[in-house]
Amino acid sequence: MIVYVLCFALFLVGTYGVIVKRDLVKIILSMGIQGYAVNLMIVLFGYRNGAIYPILAKGKDPVMMVDPLPQALVLTSIVIELGTTALIVALAIKIFEKYHTFDITKIRRLSG
């Protein structure tokens, strides 16, 4: 139970970074921390008491293994977040070329 509370605390640290920080690169890093927290929580949901890793090899029987479905979900989620990070880093480079600053309080041409 304490493990899930710690995962949620890590998620709150990432959310604090996205909301409060003023530098573009720090916002991107905080989005990464949010993603790591949710992935960790999904893997921990699959744990069974006293079980081993879910790989079938010669001589082991599949009775007491942890749930492998959350691990497949986490693999998909990591790939999606990799794509998002690549896209948003490319956008940040283009913003720096046009505005010559990384500070979001100065990138405010659209308002109203």
Residue type, 108: R
Applying CB under 8 A, does 1 fall inside the site for another protein? no
- In the chain, which residue ranges form alpha helices assigned H by DSSP? 2-20, 24-44, 69-99
Three-class DSSP category at 105: coil
Cα gap 108→99, rounded to integer Å: 10
| Binder of another protein out of 22, 94, 101, 103 (CB under 8 A) | 94
Nearer to another protein, 49 or 76 (CB): 76
Applying CB under 8 A, does 17 fall inside the site for another protein? no
Tokens for 18, please give them: 């996205």
Query: Do 27 and 102 touch, CB atoms closer than 8 A?
Result: no
Applying CB under 8 A, does 49 fall inside the site for another protein? no
To the nearest whole angstrom, how small is the minimum distance from the Cβ of residue 76 to another protein?
A: 6
Tokens for 102, please give them: 């990384």
| Residue numbers at the binding site for another protein (CB under 8 A) | 11, 15, 18, 24, 27, 31, 34-35, 38, 41-42, 45, 55, 57-58, 69-70, 73, 75-77, 79-80, 83-84, 86-99, 107, 109-110, 112
